Structure 1
Amino acid sequence: MPTMMSDSAIGTEIKYDAIVIGAGFGGLYMLKTLRDELKLKVRVFDKAKDVGGTWYWNRYPGALSDTEAFTYCFSWDQDLLQEWDITTRYLTQPQILKYINHVADRHNLRQDIQFETVITAAEFDEESSRWLISTNDGRKYSAKYLVTALGLLSATNVPNINGIDQFKGELYHTANWPRDANLNGKRVGVIGTGSTGTQVVTAIAPVVGSLTVFQRSPQYMVPVGNGPVSKEYVDNIKRNYDSIWEQVKNSKVAFGFEESQIPTMSVSEAEREKIFQNAWDKGGGFRFMFETFSDIAIDEKANIAAQDFIRKKISEIVKDPETARKLTPRDLYAKRPLCDSGYYATFNRENVALVDVKANPIKEITVSGIRTEDGVDHELDVLIFATGFDAVDGNYKRINIRGRNGIAIQEHWKEGPSSYLSVATANFPNMFMILGPNGPFTNLPPTIETEVEWVSEIIAYMEEEKLSSMEPNIEAETLWSGTCREIADKTLFSKADSWIFGANIPGKPHTVYFYLGGLGAFREVLHDVRKDNYRGFKFETQNSSDKKNTLTKQMQKEDA
C-alpha cells in the first residue's frame, strides 16, 4: 500500500502525492479515496470559497437537478443513504449544496482543500515524472498525480454580442449568480432557453415587472413532476437501496428507472398515447425519452411520435396561437431531454413576452437594453445570460496544461477533445480526468463514482508496482474516439445541433464529446481493460540507475 510523502518542500515547491482540481462531487470523492484508502498526501484546489463545484456557482432562481433525489447522491456512504432525509422527488440547488457540505464535514474533507485558489498552470516534468503546479497566489506545488475534477458544465459561455459592454443595467450569468440579486418589479430579459434558461424564466416570472425571453431554439419539454414525497416512498427506497444501485450502475442512463424494451411502433396509437400521457403526468425528461419506449433516441418514426405528443401539449397549454407557434420545435427530439416546472404556461402571463431571435436576431445590446433587427428597443433593467457552458473541455482550455515535450492541451485537442476511456489522454502522463471527454452521457454521480474508483485502482497499481508514470497509447485513444463516434452515429443525437456535440460555441469543433453506450456498458469496458493488464496504457518505471525503462501494454483488441 502506498505511503504518505513527508511535509517537506523543495525550495518554494510544496510536494504532494496527488493534486486534485475541483471540490464538487468528483473532487471530494477523489480526495476521500486517495487520502483515506490509498493513504496518499492529497491537496484539492478550488477557485470557489467552499465546496460544491457546479452547485456552488449555479445559484440562480429555479436551479434544480432533473435527476430524482434518491440517485443524485453518493452510493459509497451506505450509512448516509439511510440517514439522509429525502423530502422531495427532485432536489433544488440549496438542497444539493446542503448535501455536499454535509459530506465534506462528515468525512473531514475541508482540511485538505485550498479554496479561493486558481490553478494557472500545470506542466509535466519528464525528468522527475511529476506535475509542476502554479497557482494565482504565486505558489508552486508538485505532485506525482494530477486529477482534474473540473466538471462538465462549469466554463461559462457568454456570447459575443455587439455592445455588451455599454449596457448600464445589471448583467448576470446564471452560472455566476450574485447572492444579492433583486429582480422584484424590474424589467428583465433572458437570453437562452436551454435547461437553465427555462428554469430561471419559470421561477422569476411571478416576481419581475416584465420578462422578455430571447429564444434561439424552442425546446421539447415535459413536466418535472417535483413535489414532496411520502414516508412510504422514502422507506421503500431505503429498504431497497442495494438493488437500486445495482440497477443504476448497470443501466444506460443511470437515473434509477428501468429503461423500456418496447419499440414505439409495436403498440397501437391509443396505447402509445396512454404511455406518453402517463409519463407526462409522472414527470421527468429522461423518463419520458427512455422509460416510455426503447427507440425514441434511435428511430426517426418513434422520435416523431414523441415530437407530436409534446407539440400537441404546447398548443393546449399556450393560449396565444402565435406564441405557441414560436415555442413549438420542428426539429428532432434529440437534444438533452428537458423537464420544467411550468415553462410553457409561463407565457400565458401578461408580463411575459417571447422574442424569436432566429427570425428576428439581436442586432446589439444598447445602453438601456436589447435592439433587435426589426428596430425594436427592448428596455431592460436586468439582462440575464442563460447561455450555458463551453462544456466538457472548456475549463481545460482555461488552464495552461502542458504534457510531454511541452505540448499544450489546447494543441493536443485542437480537432476536439479526446480521451481513452474518459479518464486519461495521450501525452499527459499521470493526469487523470473525472468526467473527461467521451465519458458516459448519464446521471453524473454514478458515473463520477465509477471513474473515481477506477482511477484510484490504477493509481494503487502504479504505487504497488513502483511505476513512475502512465498514459494511454495514442492508438487506444483513437480507437476509443472511434467507438464513441460509431455509437453516437447510431442515435439521433448526432443529427441535432446541441451542446453535447459542441454546437453551442462558435468555432468549436462539432464532434463527439460523450460515450452514448450507457453506464453499464462503460463499466464493462473498464472492467475488461483492467482485467487485461490495463490494455491500451503504457507505463514507465525506474531502474537502479534511475534510467527510465518503458513497459508498454499495447492495445490487443480493437473493441476496447
Structure 2
Amino acid sequence: MTQEHEQSQTTGRNPKISGIDYDVLVIGAGLSGLYQIYKLRGAGLSVLALEAGADIGGTWFWNRYPGARVDSPCYVYQYWFSRELHEEWAWSERFPGQGELERYIHFIADRCALRPHVRLNTRVTAAHYDERKACWRVVTDSGETLSARFLISCAGMLSAPLDGLFPGQSRFRGEIFHTARWPRDPVDLSGKRVGIIGNGASGIQVIQTIAPQVAQLKVFQRTPQYTIRINNPRYTDADRAAWRARYDALRERVHRTFAGFDFDFRGNYFDTPEEERRAVLEELWEDGSLAFWVGGYPEVLLDTRANADFSEFVRAKMRARIRKPEVAAKLIPTRYGFGTRRVPLESHYLEAFDMDHVELVDVAEAPIQSISERGVVTRTGEHPLDVLILATGFDASTGALTRIDIRGREGVRLADKWRQDIRTAMGLQVHGFPNLFMIGAPLAPSAAFCNMTTCLQQQVDWITDAIMYVMERGRRSMEATAEKEASWLAHHEELANATLVVKTDSWYTGANIAGKQRRLLTYVGGAHTYRQLCDEERAGGYPGFTFT
C-alpha cells in the first residue's frame, strides 16, 4: 500500500465527546458515501456509514435492470484520489455497464479497506438533533439508536423510487419489478408478454435490451424523449494507456467545465456562421455522448431559436432511424425543446419499435386507469401481461431525505420545511439543522446537471474541510444562516429562470410529483462556478455559516 493510502488509515486524532458513539454518521455507501468514509478516516475521525442495501455501491447496487449503463465516459466517471488505483483498474469500454461499475466500486472499497466502516441492511428511519449535546441521534429500522456529532447524507439524488402509482397494482398476478429495485438473481423474460411503464433513461435502456428476448413487449409512454445514439467502443490497451497518461489533466479539467466532464460549451451560437454551426452539431452527434447536449453551445438551454435548431436536428436524426411513420410521430418529441429534460443515451432503442412484437401504447391519449389481475388497463382497454416493469422514476433530490424523519432545532421537520419551500445553502446545509451536511441535495449541480463523480467528490472534500474547521477550533456546531440560505436561493432562481429548463415539466422541476413545489432542483450556474463559490466560502472562513 502506498504512502498516500497509509495516510488515510490514520486514526490518531479522535476528540470524542462523552456519550456520543461516532464523530460522523453517513447515510449511504454509494460513490459519495464511500469517498466520504475515506476522507473522514484519513482525517482521524470515527465514522460509520449506514447502508439500506445488502451491499455497497449505491446506484450501481440498486439499478441492475437489463441494460443498466452509465452515460459518463469511464475516464471521467471515477475517483481521483489515487493515481495508483487509477493505474490498476482497466475499464473495458467507454460507457461501462452496471456489473463493471459495481466491480469497480468493490475494488476501491477493498483496496482502501472501507467495508469495516459500513453497516449493511440498515435503513435510517429517523434523525433528530439533540441541541443540549449538539449531536444527531439516528434511529435505524431495527430500532437501534446511534449518535454522532455530525450527520452526512449521501443517500443519493435518485434513490427514492416512485411505486404504487396505479390503483390495483397489488392485484396483478404476474411478476412485477421496479427498475430501481431490480432483484440480484437473474430474471428470465424470454417468451413472455412484458409491459413497461415509463421511457426515461432507465426505461429506454430496458426496452432496447429486452425487446429481442421477449414474446411481446408493450411500452406505455406518456412523454416521448429526445435521445442521442451512444458511441460505446471497446477499449484496447493502447486506449487505456492514452487516457491514463491524461490523468492529471483530466482531474483538473473536470472541475473547470460546466457539467463536470472533459468537454465544455464552446463560443456563441449566433456569432458562429451557420455552416460552421452545422459542422459542429454533426461532429458532436457522431461523438455519441452527452457532449451534444452540454458540450456544444450554451444557447441550447437559454435561447428559443437556438433550441429550436437543436431540436429539429435531433428530430431528423431520430426520424431517419424509424421505419414506421406512425410510430415516429409518437416517438419523436414536438411539444418541448431538446435538452430541457434529461437526455438519454441509447442504442437500438428506436429500432426496437420496428419489431412486429413491440407495441407503443400512448398513455397521453389513453391514460392508464388501473392495474388488473391480468395486466394494464387503459381508457381503451386491457393489455394482458406476464411481467410488468415499472420505470416510473423518482422523487428526485428531496425524496431520499424527506422519507426520513429528520428534525432539527426545536423539532422542525425537514420534510415540512421543504414542503413549504425547497431551499438550501449551496445544496450543502439547511438553516435550522446544525451539523447536518448533504450531498446531492437541492440547489447544487449534483442534483442533476453534473457528471456525478466530479460533483460528488467536490462536495465531499468541502464537507470534510468544514467539519475539520469546526473540530480544530473547538466549536460544537456549524449551521447555515437564514441570510445565506435566502441569498443562495435568490442566486439560484435568477440563473434558473433565465433557462428554458424551467419551462418544461420534468423531474428536474419536481413536476412528476403531485403537490411538490415547482422549482428547478439543480444549480445551473455550472459545476465550475459552483466549485469556485464553494472555495471562496471556505477561504473566507465560512461567512455564510454560524458556529457555536
Shorter-chain TM-score tier: over 0.9
| Secondary structure at 1:71 match in 2 | coil
Decide whether aligned partners of structure 1 residues 241 and 361 sit closer, same or farther in structure 2, where only a CA change above 3 A counts: same
What is aligned with 1:545?
none
CA distance in 2, matches of 1:113, 1:315: 48
What is aligned with 2:62?
57
What is aligned with 1:124?
129
What is aligned with 1:238?
244
What is aligned with 2:341?
335
CA distance in 2, matches of 1:56, 1:339: 21
The equivalent position to 1:171 in structure 2, one of 171, 176, 180, is 176
Counterparts in 2 of 1:400-411, with a 5 A limit?
Answer: 400-411=405-416
Q: Contact 2:269/2:277 (CA < 8 Å) preserved in 1?
A: no
Matching of residue 523 in structure 1 with residue 523 in structure 2: no
Q: Contact 1:5/1:16 (CA < 8 Å) preserved in 2?
A: no
Which has the higher mean CA deviation after the structures are superposed, 481-490 or 183-192? Answer: 481-490
CA distance in 2, matches of 1:60, 1:350: 24
Residue correspondences, number: 532
Matching of residue 42 in structure 1 with residue 82 in structure 2: no
What is aligned with 1:323?
327
Code of the residue aligned with 1:448 in structure 2: it is L
Q: What is the TM-score of this pair, normalised by structure 2? A: 0.94
Query: CA offset at residue 127 of structure 1?
Result: 0.5
CA distance in 2, matches of 1:9, 1:158: 43
> Where does the alignment leave 5 or more consecutive residues of structure 2 unmatched?
1-10
Decide whether aligned partners of structure 1 residues 264 and 2 sit closer, same or farther in structure 2, where only a CA change above 3 A counts: farther
Counterparts in 2 of 1:399-548, with a 5 A limit?
Answer: 399-440=404-445, 441-540=449-548
CA distance in 1, matches of 2:499, 2:512: 19
Q: Contact 2:419/2:516 (CA < 8 Å) preserved in 1?
A: no
What is aligned with 1:302?
306
Matching of residue 250 in structure 1 with residue 250 in structure 2: no
What is aligned with 1:213?
219
What is aligned with 1:314?
318
CA distance in 2, matches of 1:416, 1:72: 33
CA distance in 1, matches of 2:33, 2:341: 28
Q: Deviations over 1:382-431 (max 9, x none)?
A: 01000111110101111111100011111121224321111111100001
| Secondary structure at 2:477 match in 1 | strand
The equivalent position to 1:73 in structure 2, one of 78, 82, 92, is 78
> Where does the alignment leave 5 or more consecutive residues of structure 1 unmatched?
541-560
Code of the residue aligned with 1:4 in structure 2: it is N
Q: What is the TM-score of this pair, normalised by structure 1? A: 0.92
Q: Contact 2:225/2:343 (CA < 8 Å) preserved in 1?
A: no
Q: Contact 1:401/1:409 (CA < 8 Å) preserved in 2?
A: yes
CA distance in 1, matches of 2:391, 2:495: 30
Percent of counterpart pairs with the same letter? 36
Cα RMSD over matched residues?
1.6
What is aligned with 1:202?
208
Q: Deviations over 1:246-282 (max 9, x none)?
A: 11101100122233224157222x4443332332222
CA distance in 1, matches of 2:36, 2:284: 36
Q: Deviations over 1:407-463 (max 9, x none)?
A: 111112122432111111110000111112111120111111111111111111111
CA distance in 2, matches of 1:47, 1:377: 37
Counterparts in 2 of 1:157-196, with a 5 A limit?
Answer: 157-158=162-163, 160-178=165-183, 179-196=185-202
Larger % of strand: which? 1
What is aligned with 1:229?
235
Q: Contact 1:264/1:294 (CA < 8 Å) preserved in 2?
A: no
Query: CA offset at residue 72 of structure 1?
Result: 0.6
Query: CA offset at residue 224 of structure 1?
Result: 1.3
Q: Contact 1:74/1:445 (CA < 8 Å) preserved in 2?
A: yes
Which has the higher mean CA deviation after the structures are superposed, 500-509 or 463-472? Answer: 500-509
Matching of residue 104 in structure 1 with residue 109 in structure 2: yes
Query: CA offset at residue 496 of structure 1?
Result: 0.8
CA distance in 2, matches of 1:226, 1:400: 42
CA distance in 2, matches of 1:246, 1:471: 30
Q: Contact 1:18/1:143 (CA < 8 Å) preserved in 2?
A: yes
Q: Contact 2:137/2:147 (CA < 8 Å) preserved in 1?
A: yes
